[in-house]
Structure 1
Amino acid sequence: MPRKVLLIEPNYKNKYPPMGLMKLATYFRSRGDEVRFFKGDMRDLAVELLFEEFWVEAYDITLGEYTNLMRQHIKTGKLAPLRAIPEFVGEQGLRNARARYKAGDYPKFDIVGITTLFTFYWKETVDTINAAKKFVFEDGRILIGGIASTILPNEIEKATGIEPYINDRGGALLDRPGQIDLDSEVIIDELPLDYSILEEIDYKYPASNAYFGYMTRGCVNRCSFCAVPRLEPKYCQRISIEGQIEQTIQRFGAQKDLLLLDNNVFASRSFNQIIDEIKELGFGMGAMYNPPNEYTIAIENICNNYNAKAYVRKAIKFYDSVSEKLSETEQGEFYNSREALGLLYADTATATSVLEFDRTFEALYEKHIFSKLSTSRGRARYIDFNQGVDARLMTDEKMKKIAEVNIRPLRIAFDHWGVDPQKPNSRPMREVYEDAVKLAAKYGIRNLSNYLLYNTDDDTPDELYLRLQMNIKLCEDLKVNIYSFPMKYHPIDDPDYFDNRNFTGTAWNRKFIRAIQAVLNSTHGKIGRGKNFFEAAFGKTLEQFHEILLMPEAFIIERYKFDRKAYEAYLANGGTKKLKAEDVDRYGDMTDEWRRKFRALTPEQKKQAERIIYDNIFTEERISTNDSDINEVLQYYRIKRYEQSL
């Protein structure tokens, strides 16, 4: 008998889809189980499941436009939504669904699998796990896996009463047979991803239209700040993804890009073979891509009853997108055809009606949507080792080899300015990193990116500035593009900090951290090529950078509004965004006022003011001292930033 399986990702924001759950979906479907995926508020899941049970009995093709009112009643118990439904005879069934919702009597599953991500999403994760208990049969199983549960299994169990999954190597991988079902010979970690589950939710992952995978596992390094050795304890030299991609193409169509999450691909003895396989998969230098027909893929999966419910839902979106492109007369005819088959709403649509409508719709989709997507030349497709490559393992031979694939960007970690604290006899990382970037430029790789870890006990604000400044200089000298992404360090397994973001490194304080975040808010989280841009954001010198770190937050985020001279320089350099003249007149001298008053403080006064500023708490009580000069300076930190930043 097929099992009912519910796969859940907690309701946090994240860039990449949940690969572990997508592999589990493939696994459970291969065994004939019924699989469902959810991401969102768990109360909404309860409403949806109760509505669906009710709708099986109360289904009426004429009531499609009122189904959300039915959901409202289940969730709120209000009668107004019911009264708005004409000639509705299912009121008692809906009241019963409402009673079950209120009592917490939700539809049940045999297996509930929950993924976990970073520990600073602790509350969302724990709340989701505890809520999920109401969705599993008494003799069912709750499976918890992923990053947070592998790093902090005891804390997860203490908070939820459920022991997370940890394999006998101490990691999280499902990399051997029989780890979920004893009778299975399948290695789940090697399965292709089930992209269909992403059609079940409204959440859109920023990274999409890509193959996701690993061609190595683990890392040979044991960096103190890194969780990889615990997540993937054993380094695996090579994993072929050819079979996974072939199956993905057959079921879901070709994807544009290849995003690999290997933690240290340069450490692999099979590096050359990995690059050769990537080339064979269609990602060699100059690789191009033409998208598949998504509508045809959806119809094929409906025909094969592969997550048909998700693809019926997607078909409604296809109909809506085509309808917008039709003439007024065509729209009327199209609407009537859909209405007759119950295809105006996902709740009344069925696989049978979608397949029947295919004879009418296929040509319309081809004409109005798909024909516009394909081009004779195609679009560039890229390979991305998203976790970055290790500059310490870079060689001329490896860089020449990786340049054979269409890599964009090449990500190189730059976590230290000086010597790696764990390798005191090694070369300074700035030299190692610079050599790696020069090698990339030598072999024609001109789009690079890096993560710059800061707020550790081993780095300082000055070192972060110098790393960013070096990237700007390398861009100018080598004619390359480097995008830097400063990343604040969090000790994810420290008992005092694993569930919050309050940690501050030895050389850091709350104000400095907030200042960096304020600058990044203005630069959208990344620092790109351009000396003028960098110097405006972080300062021309370390002295100016120190001033920015101490500057009131509003003055950082809205630099031009509060600094008339900076605004005039911005316009002189070709800036096009304009501030209101009255705002410039009213606020434009405030940065200079703060600067002048701060510099006028005596050394002892500055020390006292800085102690308060470093805490970054500017309540009236905190900024009231016995010194009027200090109080004047601190009042600037109470200014709220403007609603619309430049």
Structure 2
Amino acid sequence: MSRAILLIEPNYKNKYPPMGLMKISTYYKHLGDKVTFFKGNLQDLVLNDTFDMLKVQLYANDSSIFWEKYKPQIYDYLRKGSVAFLEDVPGYGSNPIIDDLFRYYRQYFYRKDYFKPENRKYDRVGITTLFTFYWDITIETINFVKQLCKDPEGVMVGGVMASILSDRVEAATGIKPHIGTLQTPGELDEGNDMVIDTLPLDYSILEEIDYQYPATNAYYAYMTRGCVNRCKFCAVPRVEPVYKDYLPVSDQVKMAEAQYGAKRDLLLLDNNVLASCKFNDIIEDIKRAGFSNTDTYIAPNLYEIAVQNLRIGQNDKGYIKSAVKQFRALITKLPSNDKQIVYDLLKEHYLLEEHTATKAAILETYEELKEYFDGFYSKSPRKRYVDFNQGIDCRLITDENMAKLAEIPISPVRIAFDHWGLRKKYEEAVRTAVRHGHRNLSNYILYNYDEKPIELYWRLKLNVDLCEELGASIYSFPMKYHPIEDPDYFSNRDFIGTYWNRKFIRTIQAILNSTKGKVGKGYDFFCKAFGSNDEEFFKLLYMPEAMIIYRFYFEGTGLTDKWWNAYSSLTDDEKTIINPIIEKNDFHDIGSFGIDGRLREVLEFYTIRREDAEKVLKAENNE
């Protein structure tokens, strides 16, 4: 007998989909179980389940009414309880049984009866976890959805946060998490020999949700697992303790393309691919997957993909949703005559809305609609790209592996530059990469760990200098260090490193706010953003935040110069007093500091709020 499986990703922002849940979905579907994937407001999850139960009863009482047509009104009633929402719903007010059904399920939802053991719907519930600073929303999600599972033993919690903070997660939820990857047979069902971590991804579950992952048009994979390094700031050794040097992906990519349609890019989340002694095999497998320098991508017909999967029963919910999305997009691009014909056909079969569309209607109208999609999707070949998204180790870059890497369309080449002590190795690595044709580079730059702020500046400036010298493009992504196990900081982002303070952190964040989180190759732009030398960077660290974000405005008014002249004129003894105040970055009540005169004059500049500057700029722009 098939089981009802619920897979949940908490409703935090995430760039990449949950690969672990996608593999688990493949596992359960292989066993014939029914899988539901959800990411969103959990009230919507139980509201939809409540409506489904009510709908069964409504059809049993009166099958002549198309109840899905009234789902929005019924939803509003179940959620808010006002009978005004039911005024246009057939049967309400004239059929006492239907009236009773509405009242019963409104109370069911309002009293949270879906949590009662006898009403729980799911045989298994799986929740993934990610960053530790998403602690609150993740724990809330686990504690909510665990009450939807028939058996407490059927609740599964895994992922990064659960692996790193397993004891704390168990204490907060009562659920003992799974640590690491699912790499042993029988981990979910005793006696089953499937290794879940090696299974192909079920991309179809992404069609079930409204959330759009930013990196969407790509295959996701690992070609290695773990890392040979043991960096103190890194969680990889805890999550993937054993280094695996080669996990082929070409067969999985081809299977995914056949079932879910072609993806343009290949996004690999390896933590240290250059450590593999089978690196050449990895590159050859990538080429077999369709990602050589000569391979191209043509957008698939997503309507045909939806119909294909509906016919075989692969995720009806997801592909009904996908088909409706394609219908809506098609209507916007058709010429007027065809648009009316297609619109009328879709309206007649209730295919304009997700809540009224049915699998039967989509398949019934296929022969009439398929020709309209023939020219809808671009047939122009597009270049494909490969991205080792987690970066490669500069200490392991050689002429040989950079030459091999040049055989695939990798873009960008991401090279980690975690501290200034790696400068020589890093610079040598960049030069080697560029020498072999890799001119589109990127890197992650850790800060707020155990380096001094000026060392962050030096690393950023080195990249700009290398761009100028080598004719390359290096985009840097400064990343703030966050301790993942410290009980005072794992659930927030308040940690301040030894050489850092709140003002310095805010300065970097304010600058990155203007650069959209990355630092590019333009020398003039870099000098304006971070300063042309150490002294100018120091000036920025202490500059009032509003003057950083709205640099040109405040420079134009002369206020920036007034602040700097006032601050620079302070004696060393006066700076000894005021600097600790500035570094705390709390200026809501400067009178409480008990200082006046020149020091008070300087602090007044820090009371200029970002919101005030925004109002002034908005008013000036409207004039």
Match for 1:553: what amino acid? E
Local SS of the residue matching 1:143: strand
1:124 counterpart residue number: 137
Distance in 1 (alpha carbons) for counterparts of 2:591 and 2:206: 48
Separation (CA, whole Å) in 1 of partners of 2:538 and 2:332: 54
- Contact preservation (8 Å) 2:69, 2:356: no
User: Residue type matched to 2:436 in 1?
Assistant: Y
**1:231-242 alignment runs, 5 A limit:** 231-242=239-250
Rounded Cα–Cα distance in structure 2 between residues aligned with 1:563 and 1:91: 68
- Secondary structure of 1:318's counterpart equals helix
1:601 matches 2:570 = yes
Q: CA deviation at 1:185?
A: 1.1
| Larger CA deviation: 625-634 vs 543-552 | 625-634
| C-alpha distance in structure 2 between counterparts of 1:464 and 1:330, whole Å | 58
- Give yes or no for the alignment of 1:637 onto 2:577: no
User: RMSD over aligned Cα, in angstroms?
Assistant: 1.7
Could you list the per-position Cα deviations for residues 539-592 of structure 1 after superposition, in whole angstroms to 9, with x for gaps in the alignment? 11111111111111111111111111xxxxxxxxxxxxxxxxxxxxxxx11111
Cα displacement (A) at 1:81: 1.9
* Separation of aligned partners in 1, 2:591 and 2:260: 58
Deviation at residue 80 of structure 1 after TM alignment: 2.9
Q: Say yes or no: does 1:265 pair with 2:273.
A: yes
Task: Give the Å deviation of 1:512.
Answer: 0.2
Structure 2 counterparts to residues 164-243 of structure 1, below 5 A: 164-166=177-179, 172-243=180-251
1:434 to 427, 431, 441: 427
TM-score (normalizing by structure 2): 0.94
Once the two structures are TM-superposed, the CA of residue 208 in structure 1 deviates from its matched residue by: 1.0
The residue identity in structure 1 corresponding to 2:146 is K
Q: How do residues 405-554 of structure 1 correspond to structure 2 at under 5 angstroms? A: 405-418=408-421, 429-457=422-450, 459-554=451-546
**Offset of 1:85 from its aligned partner?**
4.0
- Name the counterpart of 1:113: 126
Once residues 621 and 98 of structure 1 are traced to their aligned partners in structure 2, the CA distance between those partners, rounded to angstroms, is 53
Aligned residue number for residue 394 of structure 1: 397
Residue matched to 1:148:
161
For the Cα contact (< 8 Å) 1:216–1:265, is it kept in 2?
yes
CA distance in 2, matches of 1:411, 1:43: 40
**Superposed counterparts of 1:228-307, under 5 Å:** 228-307=236-315
Q: CA deviation at 1:261?
A: 0.6
Q: How many residues align?
A: 602
Shift of residue 62 of structure 1? 5.4
For residue 259 of structure 1, give the secondary structure of its aligned residue in structure 2: strand
Structure 1 residue 328: deviation in Å?
Answer: 4.3
1:10 match: secondary structure? coil
SS at match of 1:449: strand
Structure 2 counterpart SS, 1:312: helix
**In 2, Cα distance between equivalents of 1:352 and 1:159:** 45
Distance in 1 between residues matched to 2:70 and 2:606, nearest whole Å: 51
Q: Which residue of 2 aligns with 1:584?
A: none
- Give unmatched runs, 5+ long, in structure 2: 115-119, 619-623
* 1-structure distance, mates of 2:389, 2:402: 16
1:131-169 C-alpha deviation (Å, 9 max, x unpaired): 112211146511000000000000001111111112xxx
Judged with a 3 Å threshold, the aligned counterparts in structure 2 of structure 1 residues 97 and 480 are, in CA distance, closer, same or farther, namely: same
Query: Offset at 1:632?
Result: 1.6
Q: 8 Å contact 2:399–2:436 — kept in the other structure?
A: no
Change beyond 3 A, Cα 1:95–1:628? farther
Q: Is the contact between residue 623 and residue 634 of structure 1 (CA under 8 Å) also seen in structure 2?
A: no
Identity of aligned residues (%): 48
Tell me the amino acid that sits aligned with residue 228 of structure 1. V
Q: 1:74 aligns with which of 75, 78, 96?
A: 78
Cα contact 1:623–1:631 (8 A) shared by 2 = no
Deviation at 1:624, TM superposition (A): 3.9
Shift of 1:628: 2.6
- The gaps in structure 1 that reach 5 residues or longer are 167-171, 419-428, 565-587
- Letter in structure 2 aligned against 1:310: G
What secondary structure sits across from 1:112 in the alignment?
strand
2-side partners of 1:310 and 1:622: how far apart?
Answer: 59
Q: Determine helix, strand or coil for the equivalent of 1:183.
A: coil
Residue 251 of structure 1 aligns to a residue in which SS?
helix
AA of the residue aligned to 1:485: F
TM score, norm. by length of structure 1: 0.90
Runs of 4+ in 1 over 6 A off after TM superposition: none
Per-residue Cα deviation, 1:31-87 (whole angstroms, up to 9, x for no partner): 000000001111121111111222234367756554222212212223332235466
Counting only pairs closer than 5 Å after superposition, residues 89-104 of structure 1 correspond to structure 2 as: 90-104=98-112
Does the 8 Å contact 2:251/2:289 carry over to 1?
A: no
Match of residue 13 from structure 2: 13
Q: Verify the 8 A CA contact 1:210 1:255 in the aligned structure 2.
A: yes
Q: Classify 1:327/1:62 alpha carbon distance in 2 versus 1 (closer, same or farther; 3 Å).
A: farther
Matched residue of 2:225: which SS? coil
**What is residue 34 of structure 1 aligned with on the other side?**
34
Structure 1 Cα separation of the partners of residues 43 and 231 of structure 2: 40
